[in-house]
């Protein structure tokens, strides 16, 4: 019988335990192997839990128990989780994690250790919650030259923007509702400033393009400056404002990852993804495009993905998945500056008496002037904004328009 350990008994960890025992019979049938959870690691006490005999506060109980061959890491963060996961891998224990911060910061190192020790480091749950995207990218779509990935990778910001779009809420009220419903943390910085989505696009970029993309090398802008006025004007243009995480391969082989509020035209399915749902669109030379859609977070959706990795490991115990890997990167020379990105740009400006720009599509000129330019680089758009400011036109907002 295979023995499992779960690190952390918070939202995701408790979900993993609950779902495992709820569906144990079918899980073991699919894995074609008998298994049980032997340890649950948490510093807190759970005297009323039906699993109270399984709890430990000492990681060494797990590390020194040769019966434990698979570990589900559900702690979050990149401090204790990193030390514990690394120690498990060094002991030859395979790890499944939902921890996007850990994978984005330490993925290359942990994958290398897993390969050296003949075990696996799986992280399907780190991007997209219940949406299967990691395994499809490195297995199902392996025959493709992937040229671009575009998606909504954070459900909290998508919920907030949805409330602004559909219910005419301002940002602060929509954020407050998200917090009351449990979609946003008390400190929502990681979500609303784009850090969460950045970590996820780093993981996808690293996996697809083979080199570790670190978050500090990815241009990231959150949604805190998106106004209700811009959301309304985007609708007049025939688009929704979404926090888009993307990466594209340029003609010279470099890649261009970014996270920023973006106008998504209604003819793109991503514009219709609402509430806390996520969506990932993948472009390849064999598939043209494929879209993955579903719940991007939550206890059971994330637990589902963690246990999917556990089942995979149970099926293939003793074998390593060498396809799910990438190299570490000593420098960021393979990452292009986001200013090289070419797209149409949305502007909202005031000071119409000084306004005189050609080759634009006016959306509205009732108070401020809102318009969309022809395709240009972000660097050119910033030059345009500069020249407008110098001529007395105040630039109140500027966002790219999604070009896929």
Give the residue numbers annotated as catalytic, written as ranges: 200
Determine the Cα–Cα distance for residues 106 and 102; give it in Å rounded to an integer: 6
Name which of 131, 219, 231 is nearest 171 in CA terms: 231
- Are residues 275 and 297 in contact, defined by beta-carbon separation less than 8 angstroms? no
Kindly report the number of other CB atoms within 10 A of residue 143's CB atom.
Answer: 9
Of 273, 18, 81, 295, nearest in space to 183 by CA: 295
Helix axes 100-117, 80-90, angle to 10 degrees: 20
Could you count the other beta carbons within 10 Å of the beta carbon of residue 366? 6
* Among 192, 127, 196, residue whose Cα is nearest residue 161: 192
Question: In whole angstroms, how far apart are CA 66 and each of 93, 94, 147, 376, 393?
Answer: 9, 12, 43, 59, 69
At residue 33, the 3 state secondary structure works out as coil
d(CA 293, CA 202): 19
Classify residue 32 as exposed, middle or buried by CB count within 10 Å of its CB (0-12, 13-18, 19+). Answer: exposed
CB atoms within 10 A of CB 45: 10
Number of CB atoms found within 10 A of residue 322's CB: 10
């Amino acid at each position: 019988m295979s023995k499992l350990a779960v690190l952390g008994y918070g939202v995701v960890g408790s979900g993993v335990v609950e779902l495992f025992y709820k569906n144990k019979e079918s899980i073991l049938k699919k894995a074609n192997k008998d298994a049980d959870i032997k340890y649950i690691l948490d510093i807190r006490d759970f005297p009323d839990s039906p699993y109270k005999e399984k709890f430990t506060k000492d990681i060494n109980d797990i590390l020194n128990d040769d019966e434990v061959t698979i570990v589900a890491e559900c702690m979050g963060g990149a401090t204790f989780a990193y030390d514990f996961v690394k120690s498990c891998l060094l002991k030859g224990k395979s790890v499944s994690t939902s921890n996007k911060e850990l994978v984005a910061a330490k993925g290359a190192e942990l994958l290398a250790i897993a390969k050296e020790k003949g075990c696996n480091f799986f992280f399907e749950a780190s991007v997209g919650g219940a949406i299967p995207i990691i395994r499809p990218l490195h297995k199902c779509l392996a025959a493709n030259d992937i040229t671009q990935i575009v998606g909504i990778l954070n459900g909290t910001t998508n919920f907030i923007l949805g409330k602004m779009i559909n219910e005419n809420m301002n940002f602060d009220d929509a954020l407050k509702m998200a917090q009351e419903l449990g979609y946003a943390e008390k400190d929502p910085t990681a979500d609303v400033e784009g850090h969460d989505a950045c970590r996820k696009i780093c993981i996808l970029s690293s996996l697809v393009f083979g080199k570790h993309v670190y978050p500090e090398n990815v241009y990231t802008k959150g949604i805190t400056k998106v106004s209700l006025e811009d959301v309304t004007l985007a609708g007049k243009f025939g688009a929704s404002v979404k926090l888009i995480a993307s990466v594209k391969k340029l003609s010279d082989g470099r890649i261009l990852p970014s996270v920023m509020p973006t106008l998504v035209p209604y003819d793109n399915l991503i514009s219709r993804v609402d509430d806390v749902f996520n969506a990932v669109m993948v472009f390849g030379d064999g598939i043209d495009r494929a879209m993955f859609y579903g719940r991007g977070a939550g206890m059971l959706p994330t637990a589902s993905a963690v246990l999917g990795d556990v089942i995979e490991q149970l099926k293939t115990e003793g074998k390593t998945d060498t396809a799910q890997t990438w190299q570490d990167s000593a420098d960021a020379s393979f990452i292009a500056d986001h200013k090289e990105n070419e797209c149409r740009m949305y502007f909202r400006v005031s000071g119409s008496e000084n306004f005189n720009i050609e080759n634009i599509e006016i959306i509205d000129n009732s108070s401020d002037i809102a318009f969309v330019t022809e395709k240009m680089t972000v660097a050119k758009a910033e030059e345009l904004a500069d020249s407008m400011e110098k001529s007395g036109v105040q630039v109140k907002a500027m966002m790219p328009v999604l070009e896929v």
